[in-house]
Every structure is written in C-alpha cells, then in structure tokens.
C-alpha cells in the first residue's frame, strides 16, 4: 500500500492540461483508463534492506490520448487514496 500511495502522490506533479510529465508517470499509469490488466511484484535485496516493486500494465499506458485516459476529476485531493480516486466512476 505504501508504494501505491507514493505512486499516486505524483498527482501533485501532473498537469491535466499537458499530455505527459515525467514526474507523474506512475500516477498516470495507475489510473490509465484503457488499462484492463495489472500485475505487481515485490523482491527484497539479498540483505533484505531494500524492497523493489514493479508494476506491469496491459495495454501499456502513458501513450496516446492522455485527455481521455487521465480524466481530470474536480475535488481530488492529494490525500485521497488510490482506491477512492479509482472508484469515483
């Protein structure tokens, strides 16, 4: 959950009037409307001091129509959880 919160918090960097911003790519991929499948993996470093999290999405997002795939919802706050944002439809 901590990783998804971190990725979602990139909403602070996203400009909904612009197609792509490199500092919000995790956020936009998480909410990409055309994505139908997502998978996530976690691995720990050998000394177990670092965690590596990977997300894979199909179809891949962050390409194409940002206006349709990353709709701007009024009233969305940074403190909102990803689940609250995704369930607004």
Residue 29 inside a domain? The answer is: yes
Measured between its terminal Cα atoms, the distance across the chain in Å is: 21
- pTM of this structure: 0.73
Residue 75 inside a domain? The answer is: no
Residue 69 inside a domain? The answer is: no
* Counted domains in the chain: 1
Q: What is the mean pLDDT of residues 23-30?
A: 94
CA-to-CA distance for 85 and 15, rounded, in angstroms?
Answer: 17
Residue 13 inside a domain? The answer is: yes
Q: pLDDT digit string (tens) for 36-89?
A: 999 999 999 999 999 999 999 999 999 888 888 998 766 655 555 555 555 544
Cis peptide before 57 (omega within 30 of 0): no
Residue 80 inside a domain? The answer is: no
Q: Give me the CATH number covering residue 7.
A: 3.40.33.10
Beta-strand (E) ranges in the chain? 37-44, 51-58
| DSSP H or E stretch at residue 35 | none
């Amino acid at each position: 959950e901590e990783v998804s919160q971190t990725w979602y918090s990139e909403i602070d960097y996203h400009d909904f009037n612009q197609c792509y911003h490199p500092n919000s790519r995790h956020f936009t991929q998480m909410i990409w409307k055309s994505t139908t499948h997502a998978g996530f993996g976690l691995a720990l470093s050998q000394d177990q001091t670092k965690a590596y999290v990977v997300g894979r999405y199909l179809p891949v997002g962050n390409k194409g129509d940002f206006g349709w795939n990353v709709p701007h919802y009024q009233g969305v706050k940074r403190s909102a959880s990803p689940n609250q944002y995704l369930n607004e439809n």
